[in-house]
A and B are shown apart, each in its own frame.
Chain A
């Protein structure tokens, strides 16, 4: 192993543009030499900024160092270069699992498995995440049956407190929450900007004879916003990472809307 590292280091010294940095960086990472691996990965990225494997390597180094946000950014870059990159999907599956976003974790791990069906690590990870998702789905029912204290609108759903927001048409928060990745609470601010959207969407749809508007999706540079009307006089905002496909967003939003409707009915009893 040490000889391999020495040989690869020598090859890289002779030809700094060589792709051997990918194997060298990984070898250093596996030996726990995270700083050295980071230097190799960054130097390699300078020569090969458009190589998805290079971003994947640096992402794994960052994840080893505990920088999950940085790792996610690198894996997203890898996917923008190579949308079926198995390593990037696997990595984002891991990051989302760590963040508690089981839906996104499942999405990425399933894509990783599709790209590399024989990877045993992905198969194991999928089993773990599916079990966690099953337990999460059972939790609210059990809490409800035992008169538990879960009082949040979206209790039991992924992102219940930080990526699902229920607001009224005047921009006031009714439930849920919205936080940035750094943890800053932005619920009130975002709710205020959404005030009036419903009326404008109504008027636009009426002018164009489009019928009743159902939802609006905004694809952002770093994340997506999905806005819908779960019940009259309310707006439901769902925020997810940009890697989550828009079709998946619609499914998540429909699930959250159903939960919101039940909660609103309970409030009016």
Chain B
């Protein structure tokens, strides 16, 4: 993992309630860098998150809503957030259900911009 990617992930995981974060290659769903809690199957989550993001990108474009800038999956016991980076990568965050989504979103959008 490069120091640059680590710094990007660290900025996001500092938000209270964020359990972990990873950078995923948007096209194939492979993990580029990760900072996840133990026991999480990073590769599987990356592939599914990338696939979800791709489906929503197509749906959003078909609905003339443009490309998604931010995705938020809310579940009963946790949250999955994703922000596509201009580079084509996808920043994925796993967080508690009651995480401050507004703050996490801001950090994620900044981090996504910073991913070269």
CB distance from A250 to the nearest CB of B (A): 9
| B55 with A194: CB separation less than 8 A | yes
Total A residues in contact with B, Cβ cutoff 8 Å: 38
**Complex CA–CA separation, A160 to B24 (angstroms):** 37
Bound CA–CA A222/B61 (angstroms): 10
Taking a contact as CB atoms under 8 Å apart, the answer to whether B58 and A207 are in contact is: no
* A215 beta carbon closer than 8 Å to chain B: yes
Which residues of B sit under 8 angstroms from A64, Cβ to Cβ?
Answer: none
Tell me the smallest distance from the CB of A66 to a CB of chain B, in Å: 21
Interface residues of B in 29-66 (CB under 8 A from A): 40-41, 44-45, 48-49, 51-52, 55-56, 58-60, 62-66
Q: Is there a chain B Cβ closer than 8 Å to A190's Cβ? A: yes
* Segment 201-220 of A: residues with Cβ below 8 Å from B: 201, 203-205, 207-220
Given contacts A208-B40, A218-B56, contact A223 B65 (CB under 8 A): yes
Cβ-closest chain A residue relative to B96: A210
Complex-state Cα separation, A239 to B64, whole angstroms: 10
- Among A190, A209, A212, A219, contact of B59 (Cβ-Cβ < 8 Å): A190
Q: Give the chain A neighbours of B71 by CB distance below 8 A.
A: 216-219
Tell me if A118 is interfacial: C-beta within 8 Å of chain B.
Answer: no
- In the complex the two chains form, is B73's CB within 8 Å of A204's CB? yes
Whole-angstrom distance between the alpha carbons of A136 and B97 in the complex? 35
Residues of chain B contacted by A204 (CB below 8 angstroms): 45, 48-49, 52, 73, 80
For the complex formed, measure the closest distance between the CB of B43 and the CB atoms of chain A, giving whole angstroms. Answer: 10
Bound-complex Cα distance A200 to B72 (A): 14
Which B residues between 81 and 109 are near A, CB-CB below 8 angstroms?
A: 94, 97
14 residue pairs of the A-B complex, CB under 8 angstroms, read A190-B59, A194-B59, A204-B48, A205-B80, A210-B75, A210-B79, A210-B97, A211-B78, A212-B75, A213-B76, A219-B69, A220-B68, A221-B65, A223-B66
B interface vs A, CB < 8 Å? Answer: 40-41, 44-45, 48-49, 51-52, 55-56, 58-60, 62-80, 94, 97
CA distance A181 to B74 in the complex (A): 29
- Cα distance A190–B40 when bound, in Å? 32
Interface contact B69-A205, CB-CB below 8 Å:
no
Instruction: Name the residue of chain B whose CB is nearest to the CB of A204.
Output: B48
CB distance from A97 to the nearest CB of B (A): 21
Verify if A180 is at the interface (C-beta below 8 Å from B).
yes
Q: How far does the Cβ of A90 sit from chain B's closest Cβ, in whole Å?
A: 24
Please tell me if the beta carbons of B60 and A209 are within 8 angstroms of each other in the complex.
Answer: no
A189 to B62, CA, bound (A): 7
Instruction: Check A222/B66 contact, CB under 8 A, given A201-B73, A208-B80.
Output: yes
A197 vs B64: C-alpha distance when bound (angstroms): 19
Given A190-B63, A194-B55, A225-B59, 18 more A-B residue pairs with CB atoms under 8 Å apart are: A186-B62, A193-B62, A204-B48, A205-B75, A207-B40, A209-B77, A211-B76, A211-B77, A212-B76, A214-B75, A215-B73, A216-B74, A217-B71, A217-B74, A218-B65, A218-B70, A218-B71, A223-B63
Identity of the chain B residue whose Cβ is nearest the Cβ of A219 in the assembled complex:
B70
Is A38 interfacial (CB-CB < 8 Å)?
Answer: no
Task: Give the shortest distance, in Å, between A240 (CB) and chain B (any CB).
Answer: 9
